[in-house]
Structure 1
Amino acid sequence: MALLLAKRLAALCVLVSALTGCGSLSETIRYRLTLNVNVHGKLVSAFGVVQVKQSDTRPIFRSMGGVGAEVSGEAVVVDLGAHGVFFALLHGPKPGFGDLGDPAWMLFHAFDDLLKGEIDPLPKVQLLKDKRPSRVLQIDYIPMLVRFRDLNDPTSIEQLDPRNLAETFGSGVSLRDVVIEITEEPVTSGIEAKLPWLKTMKTHLDGERYHHLNTLANELLARDFHRDNR
């Protein structure tokens, strides 16, 4: 709701900018998320670049304003060869997180120590762009990791434990770390090559229109794998 209100107010600001002098109501930032996996002594790395456009109309519209974030990017595709493929989603680390676990949430929490004392979102984004920090994500901030028993069947999805990839992929496979860093690289694309059904999916992964079941396939949507708000 807040995001919808922010979009409407931002559009209104454009219309009346000549009279109000609104100025910028948003800041855009990109980060690169790299997953490093040990596979029988060899390192397999995969990355994705995600864009977060943070808006804040409160300085202009006061109590009628709001804050919100638009995300563009896709899940990181980690191909382990004969062991299979898994994905790091645009979703929090566990079911039920909702927007609290989305990429904007993760971005700010990952660099929380650098942002102490700053409350408003736009200065936070500018600070991160200026400093261009990089660090290993804490385990509780790693996005949800999933795989499909059958890549052509979205209902075959399974959640993975980042602490124990060997449980799914066998002995010798483990997650070394997940690194987040601010970047100006282009937003990643191409996940449909692995999951072609994403292009047409308008429901939850199990085909249901609403989230009303206690299953992972009913929790997740296509937007947890791919978003484009550019």
Structure 2
Amino acid sequence: MRSKLTPLPKTKRRLVRVGLVFAVLCFGVLGFMELYAPSRQLNFRLDVTFEVDGQQITGSGVQKFVLSKSIMSFFPGISYDFDIYGDAVIVDLPNRSSVYVLMNSPRDDGSIDFDSGSYIFFVNSVCKLGEKAGKLGPAGYVRFVGKFTGSCDVEPKDVPVMVRFEDELDPATVERIFPDKAEQVLGADVKFIGARITITDDPVTAGIGDRLTWLSEFGSRSMVSGPSTTNPPFAQIIKHRHFREIEK
């Protein structure tokens, strides 16, 4: 005796059709985004090394670099969206102040930007990804970056802004450290050796707020408040986001 399949009620058939249409639309949107506006991310470890009395001391931290082809790229000059998330790297030097390697890149003349400077381009600049990618279009470049592996030495001009505190509990005591003049701030037996980034699968470093308890989640705030002037004090230029950029 043959068994007959019981047809689905009309309501269920409609729900199935709606579900199939929705699934097709979702896959279509995802396919379009991957083709036209792909996005990739890389975790990278930043190692920063000093020499103290002949002994090399390295501090490390993992940050996340996110790159996507902008969906607004039909406007002139808008091709990519860049972001970097994580904590500033800490180098704990023996018997002296710790060094904080900020998420802020200095300008070409060495001065500091109120924002984060060109730090969002840090990986791209240090590893010369644009040169290595060749003549790929914007979408192809994003995919190339997503497959990038290896390590890159940080040239002196690309070393992020470095600071230390006379008192870590008081943000107003922040002081800048120049790579070629580290001994002037940290002592005659201290020398900056170099920095290097390495692509990694390690998780992004977090927890700097447990150490610098005054850090705010409102990254645009200056470390100390004060009137707007053409020549503000260093602590007023540095912002909370230079120590920690939280992924939204």
TM-score (norm 2): 0.74
Counterpart of 2:163? 146
Matches within 5 A, 1:1-230: 21-24=31-34, 25-58=38-71, 62-63=74-75, 67-93=80-106, 94-96=111-113, 98-102=115-119, 104-112=120-128, 114-115=131-132, 117-118=134-135, 123-199=140-216, 203-208=221-226, 213-229=231-247
CA distance in 1 between counterparts of 2:228 and 2:146 reads 38
Partners of 2:169 and 2:214 within 8 A in 1: yes
Following superposition, the deviation at residue 28 of structure 1 comes to 1.0
Q: Secondary structure at the match of 1:163?
A: helix
Counterpart of 1:5? none
Which is helix-richer, 1 or 2?
Answer: 1
CA distance in 2 between counterparts of 1:97 and 1:206 reads 13
| Runs of 4+ residues over 3 Å off in structure 1 | 16-21, 97-100, 118-126, 199-202, 208-213
| Identity percentage of aligned residues | 22
Aligned length in residues: 213
How large is the RMSD of aligned CA atoms in angstroms?
2.8
Partners of 1:129 and 1:182 within 8 A in 2: no
Partners of 2:88 and 2:101 within 8 A in 1: yes
Structure 1 unmatched ranges of 5 or more: 1-15
Partners of 1:29 and 1:53 within 8 A in 2: yes
CA distance in 2 between counterparts of 1:175 and 1:152 reads 25
Look up the equivalent residue of 2:92 and give its one-letter code: D
Q: 1:227 to 1:136 in 2, by over 3 A?
A: same
Following superposition, the deviation at residue 182 of structure 1 comes to 1.3
Following superposition, the deviation at residue 213 of structure 1 comes to 4.7
CA distance in 2 between counterparts of 1:107 and 1:209 reads 35
Following superposition, the deviation at residue 186 of structure 1 comes to 0.5
Following superposition, the deviation at residue 205 of structure 1 comes to 0.7
Following superposition, the deviation at residue 70 of structure 1 comes to 2.6
Following superposition, the deviation at residue 91 of structure 1 comes to 0.3
TM-score (norm 1): 0.80
Following superposition, the deviation at residue 169 of structure 1 comes to 1.3
